[in-house]
Amino acid sequence: MSNSKLYKGSLTTIILKLLNEHDKMYGYEITQKVKALTKGELKITEGALYPALHKLEAEGLLDVEVAKVDNRLRKYYKLTETGTKETVNKLEELAEYIKTMQALVNPKLA
Amino acid sequence: MKLTEPQIQDLYAFTRQHFVEHYDLQTEPVDHLANDIETQWQNQPKLSFEEAKNKAFKKFGVCGFMDAIEQRAKAMNKRYRRYLWNELKNWFALPQIFATLSLFLGFYLAFSTFYTPILALVFYGIIIIWAIYKGIQLNRQFRRRKEISNKKWMLEEIIFRQSGVTSMVFMSQLYNVYRIPEGFITNIYFIVGLSLAFTAFVIISYISFEVLPSKAEKLLNETYPEFCL
């Protein structure tokens, strides 16, 4: 998904977090948003993003909306109620992970 | 600079060339490639459509659209099983439960006679012939639908073409139906089990070959917001 394999396990959390901050987003918009927020440091590849979005949709965490934009159809994703709850859990898990890693690699800061 | 309608159609054809057969799966990569091409044109307005398209596609990685197709297929099969399960539950609630019980009782009474192996084969044969007939009919229906709309939806294909998969599990048991051991036909537990299996076989086949295809429009509308667009 990115320039570093370390980000790989966090793709779902990144998607959920972005959708939690925006009402609805489409695939390309998500890739560009991540690129902009991380100043190009993290690039989500298309080949990883769409399977992840479809999986989250199948799990009932995302809902879809389709609209005609310009001369094509655009699929928007938004969080379901379950998705919003799951975002909180995922973010807590990630914070815990960062804390643990911090304790391991830099015990002085932990 | 925005993409023209023929260029969008070219992108649909491009996704088909890369094994994305279903319209519901083409929409997303088409929009993604179109956005990427338009962004490239902002920086390089002289870049040709073909060059920009190939550059955009490379970003999907070595597997191209395959991972997305695979994930989608899993999700759609899961959804289909959920629809099947929801319909199945109805047969254990009022008023259909009377039909389920009658069916079970009918099989039980028939299998309680001395002709269990013959009757099992006859019932089995009737259901198989009906399932094959319905399978052919649904396949034709699916082809006609595709000709009219010129679009193929993944769930639609599962409903019309894979409806027999669940029944196939039962169909594969022909050898066991043919070779019922003699000592078993007087065993009440065996008769109850056999009647239950046949009842389930009939109900599941009826749901997958008759009920779900008849509700196809509703289910497709529910699954795909773009179906009515």
Establish whether this prediction's ipTM goes over 0.85. no
Each residue of B206-224: pLDDT tens digit? Answer: 999 989 999 988 998 888 8
Each residue of B53-62: pLDDT tens digit? Answer: 999 988 877 6
B75 with A57: Cβ contact below 8 A: yes
Least CA distance to B65: which residue of chain A?
Answer: A47
Interstrand relation of A62-69 and A25-26 (parallel, antiparallel or unpaired): unpaired
CA distances from B151 to B70, B114, B146 (A): 19, 53, 6
Q: Are A91 and A17 in contact (CB under 8 A)?
A: yes
Percent of chain B with pLDDT over 90: 24
pLDDT at B53: 92
Mention every residue, 6+ apart, whose C-beta is less than 8 A from residue B113. B119
Averaged pLDDT, A47-59? 88
Give chain B's contact residues with A (Cβ, < 8 Å). Answer: 2-5, 8, 27-32, 34-36, 39, 59-65, 67-68, 70-72, 74-75, 78-79, 224-226, 229
Full residue range of the structural domain in which residue A61 is found? 5-105
Residues of A in contact with B72 (CB under 8 A): 54
Averaged pLDDT, A43-72? 88
Q: What is the CATH number of the domain that holds A32?
A: 1.10.10.10
- Let me know if residue A79 belongs to a domain: yes
pLDDT at A2: 46
- Let me know if residue A110 belongs to a domain: no
Residues of A in contact with B71 (CB under 8 A): 50-52, 54-55, 58
Each residue of B18-48: pLDDT tens digit? Answer: 888 888 889 999 999 999 999 999 988 888 9
Between B113 and A22, where is the model more confident? A22
Percent of chain B with pLDDT over 70: 88
- Let me know if residue A69 belongs to a domain: yes
Counted domains in chain A: 1
Q: Are B18 and A47 in contact (CB under 8 A)?
A: no
Residues of B in contact with A48 (CB under 8 A): 61, 67
- Name which of A65, A108, A58, A46 is nearest A83 in CA terms: A58
